[in-house]
Structure 1
Amino acid sequence: MTITIVPNLSAAQRAAANQLVAAVEAHDHTYREPYLSNQFNFSLTMPSFFLAYRADQLIGLLSLYTDGGAGTMADVFVLVHPECRRQGVATALWQAAKPVLLANGYTEWEFITEQVFLADYPEFLARTGLQADPETEYQMAAAAAQFPMPKQSPGRIRPLRAADVAALVPLYTAAFADQTPAAARNYLMRAIPDDQTLTYVYVLNQQLIGSCAVDISGVSDYFFSLFISADYQNQGLGTDMVRQIMAVRSAAAPKAFTLGVETNNPAALHVYANAGFKKQTEVVYLICPKKNNH
Structure 2
Amino acid sequence: MIQATNQLTEKERKAAKALISSCQNYDQTFREPYLSNMLNFDANMPSFFLYFHEGKLLGLLTVYADDEDVEVNIQVHPNHRRQGIARALYRNFERETASYPIRSVTFQTERVFLDHHPDLASHWGVVEDEETETWLGRDCTPYELELRSDVEVLLAEPSYLEAIAQLHHQAFSDEAETLEVSCRYIAEALEDSDSLLYILLKEGQVIGVCTVDLSGNNNYLYGIAVAEAYRGQGYGSYLAKSVVNHLIKHNDKSFQIAVEDDNVGAKHLYEKIGFAKQTQVVYLKQKG
1:214 to 212, 215, 226: 212
CA RMSD for the aligned pairs? 1.3
Amino acid at match of 2:15: A
Amino acid at match of 2:98: L
Q: Following superposition of structure 1 onto structure 2, how do residues 1-294 of structure 1 map, counting pairs within 5 Å?
A: 2-68=1-67, 72-143=68-139, 145-148=140-143, 150-153=145-148, 154-178=150-174, 179-290=177-288
Q: 1:131 to 1:28 in 2, by over 3 A?
A: same
Aligned residues, how many?
285
User: Between the two proteins, what is the percent identity of the paired residues?
Assistant: 33
- SS of corresponding position for 1:224: strand
Whole-angstrom CA distance in 1 between matches of 2:98 and 2:274: 42
Distance 1:146 1:252 in 2: 13
Q: Report the Cα distance in structure 1 between the residues aligned to 2:286 and 2:213, rounded to whole angstroms.
A: 28
- Asked if the contact 1:101–1:107 (Cα under 8 Å) also holds between the matched residues in 2, the reply is no
Q: Say which SS state the counterpart of residue 191 (structure 2) adopts.
A: coil
Measure, in 1, the Cα distance between the counterparts of 2:231 and 2:282. 28
Q: Are residues 183 and 218 of structure 1, via their aligned partners in 2, closer, same or farther at CA, if it must alter by over 3 Å? A: same
3-state SS of paired residue (1:22): helix
- Per-residue deviation, residues 220-272 of structure 1 (Å, max 9, x unmatched): 11111111111111111111111011001111111111121111111111221
1:101 deviates by 3.5
Q: Give the distance between the partners of 1:47 and 1:120, measured in 2 at CA.
A: 30
Q: TM-score normalised to the size of structure 2?
A: 0.95
Query: Residue deviations 1:111-155, cap 9 Å, x none?
Result: 000000111111112222111112211011112x23146213342
Check the 8 A contact 1:5/1:50 in 2, yes or no: yes
Deviation readout 1:26-56 (Å, 9 max, x if unpaired): 1111111100111111111111000111111
Alpha carbons 1:59, 1:80 under 8 Å: kept: yes
2:86 aligned partner, one-letter code: A
Task: Report the residue type matching 2:126 in the other structure.
Answer: L
Q: Structure 2 CA distance, aligned partners of 1:52 and 1:239?
A: 42
Contact 1:149–1:248 (Cα < 8 Å) also in 2: no
C-alpha distance in structure 1 between counterparts of 2:75 and 2:102, whole Å? 21
Q: Structure 2: which 5+ residue stretches go unaligned?
A: none
Query: Hey, what's the Cα distance between the residues in 1 that align with 2:147 and 2:164?
Result: 25
- Letter paired with 1:97: F
Which AA in structure 2 matches 1:152? Answer: L
Letter in 2 for 1:147: P
State how far apart, in whole Å, the 2-side matches of 1:177 and 1:53 are.
38
Q: How far, CA to CA, are the matches of 2:246 and 2:197 in structure 1?
A: 12
Q: How many Å separate the matches in 1 of 2:37 and 2:144?
A: 31
Q: Which amino acid aligns with 1:188?
A: I
Q: Distance in 2 between matches of 1:134 and 1:193?
A: 34
C-alpha separation in 2, matches of 1:226 and 1:99:
36
